[in-house]
Amino acid sequence: MNDVARASLDGKIALVTGAAGGLGQAFAERLAQDGAHAVLVDIKPCAETAALVEAAGREAMSVICDITSEESVAYLAAEVEIRFGRCDILVNNAGIYPIQPFEQVTFADWRRVMALNLDAVFLVTKAFAPGMKRRGFGRVVNISSSTLNTVASGYTHYIASKGGVVGFTRALATELGNHGVTVNAISPSLTRTPGTEGRAPRQGRASMDEEFEQIARLQAIRRVQMPADLAGVVSFLASDDAAFITGQTLYADGGMVRV
Ligand SMILES: NC(=O)c1ccc[n+]([C@@H]2O[C@H](COP(=O)([O-])OP(=O)(O)OC[C@H]3O[C@@H](n4cnc5c(N)ncnc54)[C@H](O)[C@@H]3O)[C@@H](O)[C@H]2O)c1
């Protein structure tokens, strides 16, 4: 690690949801490498991510928490208050992406996707953004998806939830912009993570490897997106250099979406 180049988040407290693996793990590791202590939140143990954060020389606090529960998020906020007294950077990352044709989506399916992908973004932000506003500094980074623009089939609930994330990002940025708190989103293309690798491929594709390659060919940069392609973008949005960027959705997707 190059300490000179990477000290922009020195001493900051960064909370990442869905931090046990996948993108959340990459974000937490990179934020730690760039100087932040990390609060790792997931329904699964975050021991592996905690080890990466500690290897970067920062403190890791792991909290098992179902962020779709208001009660659990209140517990999380209380624990963070006790341990660190604040949260400076919030990465709302945890999300699910089940593929279901609209006819098969029950209201329970719809609610399950909304509960994690949108309601939990509200709950966790509600728990930590007021403190950021009070202290006059904060960074909220939400994770949307390029599917919002490419509009893949089987994703009515997912795309609706990620559109909600973009709307929430813009609206909250408006309210917090004058208080030192920025709110932005990133929009990735299909990225190799345990979640996507473990998924069944879409109809007509033999394997997820084939699907990864096919999607990559639609991007301007025709290789499969990896978590490392996004981690630095999140860290940048969390940094002082991004202090004048807010309400934006950054398409970090290899040129999948060109707007
Ligand atoms: N991987 C991709 O291709 C891709 C593309 C665009 C957007 N995204 C978005 O990025 C985010 C992360 O995706 P990923 O591929 O790393 O997912 P993943 O499935 O690999 O990891 C998600 C993590 O969230 C955790 N989680 C699930 N339910 C939770 C809950 N109720 N409370 C707390 N944690 C919970 C899981 O345990 C898991 O560790 C999601 O919001 C996803 O929609 C992913």
Q: Which residues are catalytic?
A: 158
Structure tokens at 27: 């974000």
From atom 8 of ligand 1, which residue's Cα is the shortest distance away? 145
Give 34 Cα–ligand 1 centroid separation in angstroms: 22
Average pLDDT, the chain: 96
Take atom 32 of ligand 1 and give the residue whose Cα is closest: 66
- Nearest-CA residue for ligand 1 atom 31 is 66
The pLDDT score that the predictor gives to residue 148 is 96
Which domains does the chain show, CATH number per domain?
Answer: 13-188+227-250 (3.40.50.720), 197-224 (no CATH)
Per residue in 44-71, pLDDT (tens digit) is 999 999 999 999 999 999 999 999 999 9
Q: Which residues contact 23 (CB under 8 A, 6 or more apart)?
A: 93, 143, 188, 191, 193, 227, 230
Q: How far apart are CA 60 and CA 16, in angstroms?
A: 11
In the prediction, which pLDDT does 203 show?
A: 83
* Distance (Å) from CA 196 to ligand 1 centroid: 9
Partnered with residue 16 across adjacent β-strands are 40, 91
Distance from the alpha carbon of residue 229 to the mean position of ligand 1, in angstroms = 16
Distances (CA, A) of 156 to 96, 141, 149, 214, 240: 13, 23, 12, 21, 36
* Statement: residue 2 has pLDDT above 70: no
Q: Where does the pLDDT of residue 5 fall: very low under 50, low under 70, confident under 90, or very high at 90 and above? A: low
pLDDT band at residue 7, thresholds of 50, 70 and 90?
low
What is the rounded average pLDDT of the residues 197-214?
93
pLDDT classification of 259: cutoffs 50, 70, 90? confident
- Report residue 165 as tokens: 């994330």
- pTM reported for the whole predicted model: 0.97
pLDDT at 62: 98
- pLDDT tens-digit map of 72-113: 999 999 999 999 999 999 999 999 999 999 999 999 999 999
Enumerate helices (H) and strands (E) in the chain, giving the number of each: 10, 7
135 alpha carbon – ligand 1 mean position (Å)? 29
Using a 6 Å cutoff on CB, does residue 182 contact ligand 1?
A: no
What number is the average pLDDT over the span 224-229?
98
Q: What is the pLDDT of residue 49?
A: 98
Average pLDDT over residues 200-226: 95
> Rg (Cα) of the chain, in Å, rounded?
17
- Report which of 214, 226, 234 is spatially closest to residue 254, judged by C-alpha positions: 226
Regarding the beta carbon of 45 and ligand 1, being less than 6 Å apart is answered no
- Give the ligand 1 atom nearest the CA of 20: 39
Burial class (CB in 10 A: 0-12, 13-18, 19+), 206: exposed
Q: Which atom of ligand 1 is nearest to the CA of 94?
A: 24
